[in-house]
Amino acid sequence: MNMSTYAAQRQAAEQRYADRRPLSKELFERASAVMPGGSTRSVLDMSPFPFRVASAAGSELVDVDGINYLDFLGDYSAGLLGHDPAPVRAAVTAALEHGWSFGGVHTDEIRVAEAVVDRFPSIEQVRFTNSGTEANLMALQLARHHTRRQRIVVCDGAYHGGLLYFGHGGEALLAPFDFTRVRYNDIDTLTAIDDSVAAVLIEPMMGAGGCIPAQQEYLTALRRRCDETGSLLIFDEVMTSRMSSGGLQQRTGVLPDLTTLGKYLAGGMTFGAFGGRADVMAAFDPARGGALTHGGTFNNNVVSMAGAAAAMSEMLSEAKLSQLFARGESLRSRLNELFRASTLPLSVTGVGSMMAIHTVDGPINGPHDLETSDHELRQLLFHELLHRGCYIAARGFIALSLDITDEQCDTLVGAMSEAIDSISPSN
């Protein structure tokens, strides 16, 4: 099957999509008049236009044209708790009863900090931000301040936020640090870490870069190299912290100096955090000689803090997270089975409840192995799944929420099987 055949099928699938969604189309045109591209979060852009969500409950979405979707995207992992987690709703509602925008400290922020320190093995102290991007930027500046060094090592193809994207097209908006890029999972390139490097910023499973797990020996070598050179190791666990109550660092046993968090931890409310070694975090403590100030009007906002306290104390138990992890492992292996039996170039990578479908044959050890991905096939597959009521990211990303059931995973596997058949090479 050649590329142009996929293109024709994709075009037909997009026309079918557009025909069923007149209201979404109209609203896209209205949005485009006042927001460039019709959106304010680029990852939600979709060809020919995004369906516009009218409401969400549990693991389901309904769009303005009345079409239902099973939500396997889980808001790119921020929706881990589903769309209306009762404990979060109750905590936020109760908090609002007491007012907000205090311009003062309150008690929930202590509860959230205690929960984070309690859960993550390498975090001794923590501070909050409003996003994962901001958490990473603060962690990088903190590392530069602590080490009195400038250079930052990152992985090619990684995404660490809107101003920290190291893939194609990320350059123009990249924060102006002195970055050196290395290949993910390539131990040989770790020689780039020397005593001029302030920090290495890395995900223990590359998330947006394609759900590519770090090999254990790579993480161990990375930790050793940072120790040898005095560079700080920063784990971006904005996505991967869901892998256990102590994040992916708890599962791998490789501990960073600093960790950044975000996404689901406030139960779907805006959130970010950075934390780690107390001696490093002391830079923000005047009582310990710290000279850094960390501003942020909404850092301790009442809604996020109430949501985070409830999410961690009532919903994110080790038992629940490991059940979710197992469900994801099972789904990924079932998808892999389907892909192995298909003649299409498909594979799936991931860890636990997060995975990505790729339009290349494996093995995949880093974004460098995805360069031959078939974009037309990926778009076509996305539309075929959407047509069958299953919402995943257009780029193939899946993040299960706690509300997704085994039966719904069966539905996705069935939809995938049908989708593959509908794109059969004989078409």
Ligand X SMILES: Cc1ncc(COP(=O)(O)O)c(C=O)c1O
Q: How far is CA 181 from CA 197, 207, 219, 249, in A?
A: 12, 17, 16, 22
Closest of 54, 53, 52, 59 to residue 83, by C-alpha: 59
Give least dist CB 243 to ligand X, A.
Answer: 13
Nearer to ligand X, 24 or 304 (CB): 304
Task: Point out which residues bind ligand X (CB under 6 A).
Answer: 76, 131-133, 136, 159-161, 203, 207-208, 236, 238-239, 262, 272
Q: How far is CA 400 from CA 81, 331, 393, in A?
A: 9, 10, 12
Give least dist CB 331 to ligand X, A.
Answer: 20
- The C-alpha angle with vertex 303 and arms to 297 and 306, in degrees rounded to 5, equals 120
Give least dist CB 208 to ligand X, A.
Answer: 5
Nearer to ligand X, 207 or 384 (CB): 207
Give least dist CB 271 to ligand X, A.
Answer: 7
Give least dist CB 69 to ligand X, A.
Answer: 20
Nearer to ligand X, 76 or 325 (CB): 76
Token couple for 120: 């993550």
Token couple for 147: 């080490």
Give least dist CB 418 to ligand X, A.
Answer: 30
Whether the bond between 204 and the residue before it is cis, its omega within 30 degrees of 0, is: no
Give 316-373 as a 3 state SS string: CCHHHHHHHHHHHHHHHHHHHHHHHHCCCCCEEEEECCEEEEECCCCCCCCHHHHCCC
Give least dist CB 389 to ligand X, A.
Answer: 25
Q: Rounded to a whole number, what is the distance in angstroms from the first to the last CA of the chain?
A: 9
Longest dimension (CA), the chain: 72
Give least dist CB 203 to ligand X, A.
Answer: 5
Nearer to ligand X, 198 or 354 (CB): 354
Give least dist CB 310 to ligand X, A.
Answer: 19
Nearer to ligand X, 240 or 245 (CB): 240
Closest residue to ligand X: CB criterion: 132
Helix axes 375-387, 3-19, angle to 10 degrees: 30
Nearer to ligand X, 59 or 129 (CB): 129
- Contact indicator for 72, 413 with CB cutoff of 8 Å: no
Give the chain's length. 427
Q: How far is CA 57 from CA 54, 84, 211, in A?
A: 11, 6, 26
Nearer to ligand X, 166 or 339 (CB): 166
Token couple for 78: 């921020």
- Contact indicator for 269, 92 with CB cutoff of 8 Å: yes
Nearer to ligand X, 125 or 130 (CB): 130
Nearer to ligand X, 236 or 374 (CB): 236
Give least dist CB 16 to ligand X, A.
Answer: 30
Nearer to ligand X, 165 or 339 (CB): 165
